[in-house]
Structure 1
Amino acid sequence: MKSTLRWVLLGLFTLVCIFFLSNIRNAFISTQPDQIKIMVGSGSTLQAISEKLPGSQVLDEKAGLLTVPYGKVWDYLGKIMAVKGVFRAAAVPLDHPTISWRYYGYSIKEQLQGFLHGDFGKFRSPFNRTEVTVVQELPTMLLRTCTYFIPGLLMAVGVSLLLAMLSAKWRRIGVFMDGVHALLVGLPDFFLIVLIQLGAIYATKFLGHYVLLIVQVGNKTPFLIPFLTIALIPSVTIYGTMRVAISRELGQDYVVTAQAKGLTRSEVLISHVLRNVMQDLLAILPKATTLALASMAVAEAICGIFGLGGFITSPTVQSVSSMSVICMTLALVAMAFHVLYALLRRRFVIRTGEAVSQ
C-alpha cells in the first residue's frame, strides 16, 4: 500500500512539474502586458474610447497609450477594434525581450482557473483555421497517434528480441547485427527519420506512381514513416540490452549443464534463457517507451501529422492554455505503459531472496 501511494504521489508530482515546465515560455515576453497603443480617428478621443472599455485608463493621450488590466492586452485588442473611431490598435513592444515571472505566474493562475471551470484551452485548426477546444479534438489526436505508436512499439520489442536470439544462435549473424547496432547507435534520431522519409520519397519516384503518404493531407495520415521510426529507434536500445543479457545467461552453469544433457542451443535459448532474460526486457521497456514517444513526436513534426507529438512541435496549432494539457496527456500515456510494465514484472519475474529463520 505504501509503495502504491508513493508511486501515485510521484506521478502527480511529475504531472505538476510538466504543467509548470510546459508554460515556461510564458515567462518570456516581448510586449507590455498591460499597455495598448491606439490610433484614433479625427472624430474621437482616447478618453472617449477608454470610457467604453471598463478597466482601462489613458496613460498618454499624445502617444495614444492606454493601460488595461494586467495580462488582458489581447482580450482588449479584440474589444477595441470593435469600438467606433479606432483606426488601429496594437500591443506596445518592449525594447528587448525580457523574463517576467509575474506574467508567468499570471498565466499559470489563469489556466488553473480555466481548468476549474472546464476550460482546457483552444487552438486554431491547421486545416480550416477554426477555433477548436482541446477536449473536442484530444480523443481524435490520441487515436491517431496510437494507430502507429502501439504497433511500432510492439514491432520494436518483437524484432529486437528475435534478432538478439538469432545473434546468440549464429555467430555470423551476431557479428553483422552488432555492427549494424553500433552504426545506428552513433546516428542521431533525427537523421534516421529523415532517411526513412527520403526512402519513401525515392520509392515513390522510382516506381513512377503514388506509393506512400509522406505528409498528412486532410484526414489522410501517414502510417509507414512514423511506424518505422517508432519501431527502429527503441529497437536499437532493446537489442543492445537483450544481447548483453542473453550473452550473460549463456555463460551460466545451468546452460552448460543443459547442453551436456543433450539440449541443442536453440532449445536452451527458448526454454531457459528467454525466460531468464525477461526481467532485463521489462527493465528496459520503460526507457524504450520514452524513446518511442520522443521519436513519435519528431516523426509527426516532420510528416506534419496532427497528433499529440505534432501538436506540441507545430507552431501553427500551439496555444498558451492547451499546450500543458497535451504535454500532460503524453505523460499520462507514458505512465500507463509504466504501470503495465510493473504489472508484467509482478506476473512474469520470479523474485528470490534468502529465507529468514525463526
Structure 2
Amino acid sequence: MLSYASKRVSVGIVTLLAASIIVFAVLEIVPGDPARLMLGMNATEDAVRTLQEQMGFNQPLISRYFSWLGGLLTGDFGKSYTYSVPVFDLIKERVAVSLPLALISLALSTVIAIPVGLFSASRRGSIADTAAMGAAQIGIAIPNFWFALLLVYVFAVMLRLLPAGGFTGWENGLWPSIKSLILPSIALALPQASILARVTRSSLLDVLGEDYIRTARAKGLSRRRVLYHHALRNALIPVLTILGMQFSFLLAGTIIVENVFYLPGLGRLVFQAITQRDLIVVEGVVILLVATVIIVNLVVDLAYAIVDPRLWSRR
C-alpha cells in the first residue's frame, strides 16, 4: 500500500510541475505585451514601463517562471493589479465561500444519488426504476442556472424562506451564512446527483451480474445483504471517480451559479480577473484549481486502493 501511495504522490508532483509550466506559458504567449494588455491599448509608454518593472515583465522568461514558482511554494502568489492586494488574500477570501459551497453541494448530491441508484438497480426494469432514471435524465437536462432562478422565485420571492442572493460572511454567524448557500448548493447538486445516480445504478447492475454475487445468493444470503454488503463496495470505484470529478467541477466551475446568487467565490473571481485583464490573479487561481484537481485525483486513487486492495497488492 505504501509503495502504491508513493508512486501516486510522485505522479501527482510531476503532473503539478508540468501544469505550472503550461499555465505560465499559456499566459505568457498571449499576443502583445502583458503590461499593455493589463493597462489597455490607450496606456502611455511611461505607465507601461512602470508596470513592467513592478510586475517583473522586463525580466527573462525563465527567471520570471522560477520566481513565480518559488513564490507559489512560499505562498506568495503575487499582487493583484486591479485590487492592489496580495493574490493569496483574494483567493483565501473567495475560497471561504466556494469550498463550503462545493462541499455542501457534493454532500447533497451523494445523499440523493447513491440511495436512488441502489433503489433503481434493485428494481431493474420496474416502473419505479423507469421513473427514477427518467427523473435523473430530466435533472441532467435542466440547466442549473434556470433551476437556480426557479429556486429563487419559489423559496426567496414567493415563500420568503431563504435569501435570494449575496453572502453575509462567516463573521456574521454560521446559520445566516449557511442559509446563503442553501439555494446555490441545491442548484449545483441537482445535475450532479442525476449523473451520479445513473452511474451508481449502471455500476451496481454490472456487479450484480458477477459470479460471486450469484454464489452469495445461492448460499442463502438475502437480496438486501448481497446488495449492501457485497455489491455496493465493488461498485464504488466508478462512483468514486465521478465524485472526484464532481468536486473539482463544483469548486472551479460555478461561475454561472455564483453570478446568479451574487456569491463572491473563486469562479466569480476568475471571471472578474479575466474581464479586468488581471493576469496575475488568473495565474494564481488557475494553478490553485489545477493543484486541487490533482490532489482530489490522488485522494480518489488512494480510495480505490482501500475499496479494492487488489490495486496495490499485485504491485
Q: What is the TM-score when the length of structure 1 is the normalising length?
A: 0.67
More helix by share: 2
Q: CA deviation at 1:28?
A: 8.4
Letter in 2 for 1:299: V
Could you say which residue in structure 1 is the equivalent of 2:290? 331
Q: Which has the higher contact order (CA 8 A, sep 6+)?
A: 2
Q: What's 2:88 paired with?
A: 135
Unpaired stretches in structure 1, ≥5 consecutive residues: 39-65, 77-102, 126-130
Larger radius of gyration: 1
Alpha-carbon deviation of 1:163? Answer: 0.8
Aligned counterpart, 1:248 = 206
Match of 2:303 among 341, 344, 348: 344
Q: 1:223 offset after TM fit, Å?
A: 0.1
| 2:49 aligned partner | 72
Residue number in structure 2 paired with 1:80 = none
Tell me by how many angstroms 1:226 deviates.
2.6
| SS at structure 2 position matched to 1:72 | helix
Q: Which moved more, 1:17-26 or 1:104-113?
A: 104-113
Distance 1:104 1:303, change over 3 A: farther
Is the CA contact (8 Å cut-off) linking 1:164 and 1:242 kept in structure 2? Answer: yes
2:3 maps to: none
Percent of aligned pairs sharing the same letter: 16
Distance 1:214 1:248 in 2: 43
Change (3 A) 1:166 1:35: closer
Q: Secondary structure at the match of 1:122?
A: coil
Pairing 1:4-19 to 2, within 5 Å after superposition: 4-19=9-24
Deviation (angstroms), 1:218: 6.0
Given that 1:258 and 1:268 are in contact with CA atoms closer than 8 Å, whether structure 2 keeps it comes out as: yes
* Aligned equivalent of 1:155, options 108, 111, 124: 108
1:286 and 2:244 aligned? yes
Please give the alpha-carbon distance, in whole angstroms, between the structure 1 residues aligned to 2:229 and 2:105. 27
Residues in 1 aligned to 2:272 and 2:41: alpha-carbon distance in whole angstroms? 29
Alpha carbons of 1:147 and 1:21: their partners in 2 closer, same or farther (altered >3 Å)? same
CA drift at 1:106 = 8.2
Instruction: Give the direction of change, closer, same or farther, for the CA distance of 1:226–1:333 in structure 2 (3 Å limit).
Output: farther
CA contact under 8 A between 2:248 and 2:292: conserved in structure 1? Answer: no
Q: Residue 85 of structure 2: SS of its match in structure 1? A: strand
Q: Give the drift of 1:164.
A: 0.5
Gaps spanning 5+ residues in structure 2: where? 1-5, 170-175
Tell me the equivalent position of 1:198. 150
Note if contact 2:27-2:283 (Cα within 8 Å) is conserved in structure 1: yes
Q: Of 156, 159, 162, which aligns to 1:212?
A: 162
Q: How far has the Cα of 1:292 moved from its partner?
A: 2.5
Deviates more, 1:344-353 or 1:240-249: 344-353
Q: How far did 1:228 drift?
A: 1.6
How has the CA–CA distance of structure 1 residues 28 and 185 changed in structure 2, closer, same or farther, with 3 Å as cutoff? farther
Aligned equivalent of 1:233, options 172, 191, 199: 191
**In 1, Cα distance between the equivalents of 2:164 and 2:106?**
21
Separation of aligned partners in 1, 2:259 and 2:22:
24
> Which has more strand, going by share of residues?
1
Contact 2:24/2:65 (CA < 8 Å) preserved in 1?
A: no
Tell me how far apart the structure 2 counterparts of residues 159 and 235 of structure 1 sit (CA, whole Å): 6
Aligned letter for 1:259? R
Distance 1:157 1:104, change over 3 A: farther
Q: Secondary structure at the match of 1:314?
A: helix
Separation of aligned partners in 1, 2:34 and 2:82: 22
**2:78 is paired with a residue of what secondary structure?**
coil
What is the CA–CA distance in structure 1 between the aligned matches of 2:41 and 2:138, rounded to whole Å? 56
Report the residue type matching 1:332 in the other structure.
Answer: A
> 1:122, 1:321 within 8 Å by CA — same for their partners in 2?
yes
* Distance in 2 between residues matched to 1:143 and 1:33, nearest whole Å: 27
Q: What is the CA–CA distance in structure 1 between the aligned matches of 2:38 and 2:94, rounded to whole Å?
A: 33
2:137 aligned residue (182, 189, 196)? 182
The verdict on how the C-alpha distance between 1:24 and 1:203 changes in structure 2, with shifts beyond 3 A counting, is farther
- 1:269 CA displacement: 0.6
- Check 1:240–1:112 CA distance in 2 against 1; reply closer, same or farther (3 A cut): same
CA distance 1:227–1:253, change in 2 (3 Å): same
1:195/1:33 Cα in 2 relative to 1: closer, same or farther (>3 Å)?
Answer: closer
TM-superposed CA distance for 1:317, in Å, is: 6.5
Q: Residues 250 and 337 from structure 1, CA distance in 2 versus in 1: closer, same or farther, beyond 3 angstroms?
A: same
Aligned pair in 2 of structure 1 residues 67, 156: CA closer, same or farther (>3 Å)?
closer
Report the residue type matching 1:176 in the other structure.
A
CA RMSD of aligned residues (A): 3.9
**1:324, CA displacement in angstroms?**
0.7
8 Å CA contact retained: 2:147, 2:187: no
Once the two structures are overlaid, the 10-residue window that deviates more, 216-225 or 249-258, is 216-225
State the shift of 1:37 in Å: 8.0
Deviation at 1:302, TM superposition (A): 2.6
